[in-house]
Amino acid sequence: MEKAFRYRFYPTPEQESLLRRTLGCTRLVYNKALHERTQAWYERQERVGYPETSTMLTRWKKQEDLGFLNEVSCVPLQQGLRHLQTAFTNFFARRAKYPNFKKKRNGGSAEFTKSAFKFKDKEIYLAKNSEPLPIRWSRQIPKGCEPSSVTVNLHPSGRWHISIRFDDPTIQPLPVNENAIGIDLGVTSLIATSNGEKIINPKHFKKHYKRLRKAQKSLSRKQKGSRNRAKARIKAARIHLKISDSRKDFLHKLTTRLVRENQTIAVESLAVKNMVKNHKLALAISDSSWSELIRQLNYKCYWYGRKLVAIDQWFPSSKRCSSCGHLVDKMPLSIRNWICPECGCNHDRDINASKNILAAGLAVSVCGATVRPEQSKSVKAGALKQKLKS
């Protein structure tokens, strides 16, 4: 299994100077290549790929005004061009927007492949560095694992992090159990489970909103280009980092517990990008971080031999009675509890939805059945009918 550990490190002044120059050169090469590819298309309707930009990089290094590109390792520069190629691939496949230019104030990152670093005596030596990086080893890399690549990242707040990627053969599937759970995502309650449990949304952004608002107001009043503005920007970035770290820590603990306790987990496949277009709910949805929660469940289930089932986003989980299956016509968001007109069962909206999600998820995983009422026949039955016709 491919895995990555992220650590914080505190570079010496010499190391920081070299790393900042490396990040700057990587950003410069990325932006110049993006400019050349954009100009080639608009002026000559010509598509420029990675091989052409790699040739351009060789030519740039020979120019007098760009001679400083030779002072840093060439590997992060080439990796930056590969990342640009990936960004264009995702754009043409309609998975992402058109690539943007990188900005200095956003920090930056540089990836070093195996030829540009050395892992010796449990220490990382980067290219053109004689001393190991002073990493705060919060956890050790499993014995016998060799890093395949490392990525150095500078956060806008000034913090340095390093991500070490390696293949981990020590990951073993968890013992099989019979537990299955359905999860309904929400705003007030982050998740509601089919077991009747509700996890309250911590709302990390709301918790730090007053401090962040004060810091951003102070930043807006500073003169552009001044040192006081740089200090105010770092102060605001640190609050953003605190919010991000708190959110990720909470989600990691929650998803790990869900994966350990359950063999099958059923969730909704929500179109979050479309949902945040509602300006009244955009902040609450973004603060909940549903996409990150599903992403963590996905790879942790893959690691530990669990099964994650994503049902159709149009499945009427809230409007269907989990007791008798009756489907009501409308269910506004303001209604949090309702009584089934068919069987008289009293439902909590979120708990009822999670029970329906579990039932639909089990149907999908067991027999391949669809979850829409008009497509209720199983996939296996449909395939058999088609085979008999032929």
What is the rounded distance in angstroms from the CA atom of residue 237 to the CA atom of residue 192?
A: 32
For the record, the structure tokens of 157 come out as 């707040």
Report whether 149 contacts 155 (CB < 8 A): no
Q: Which of 268, 287, 342, 374 is catalytic?
A: 268
Q: Which of 46, 121, 184, 261 is catalytic?
A: 184
For the record, the structure tokens of 302 come out as 């893959």
Between helix 290-303 and helix 227-261 the angle, nearest 10°, is 50
For the record, the structure tokens of 285 come out as 């949805």
What is the rounded distance in angstroms from the CA atom of residue 86 to the CA atom of residue 97?
A: 12
In a domain? residue 212: no
Task: Please state the domain count of the chain.
Answer: 2
- For the question of residue 131 being annotated catalytic, the response is no
Same domain, yes or no, for 309 and 184?
Answer: yes
Which residues make beta-bridge pairs with 185? 191
pLDDT (mean) for 117-122: 90
The string of pLDDT tens digits covering residues 137-193 is 999 898 888 999 999 999 999 999 999 999 988 888 999 999 999 999 988 899 999
Same domain, yes or no, for 37 and 151?
Answer: yes
- For the question of residue 312 being annotated catalytic, the response is no
Q: Which of 65, 123, 249, 350 is catalytic?
A: 350
What is the rounded distance in angstroms from the CA atom of residue 318 to the CA atom of residue 186?
A: 12
Question: Which residues span the domain enclosing 39?
Answer: 2-167
- For the question of residue 46 being annotated catalytic, the response is no
3 state SS of 43: helix
**Residues of 275-303 as b/e, b for ≥16 C-beta within 10 angstroms?**
eeeeeeeeebbebbbbeebbebbeebbeb
Q: Which helix (H) or strand (E) holds 120?
A: strand 117-120
Same domain, yes or no, for 154 and 186?
Answer: no
Q: What is the pLDDT of residue 387?
A: 41
Same domain, yes or no, for 107 and 58?
Answer: yes
The string of pLDDT tens digits covering residues 254-290 is 999 999 999 999 998 888 888 888 888 889 889 999 9
State which of 146, 167, 188 marks the end of a domain. Answer: 167
Same domain, yes or no, for 157 and 179?
Answer: no
Instruction: Look up the pTM and report it.
Output: 0.85
What is the rounded distance in angstroms from the CA atom of residue 361 to the CA atom of residue 359?
A: 5
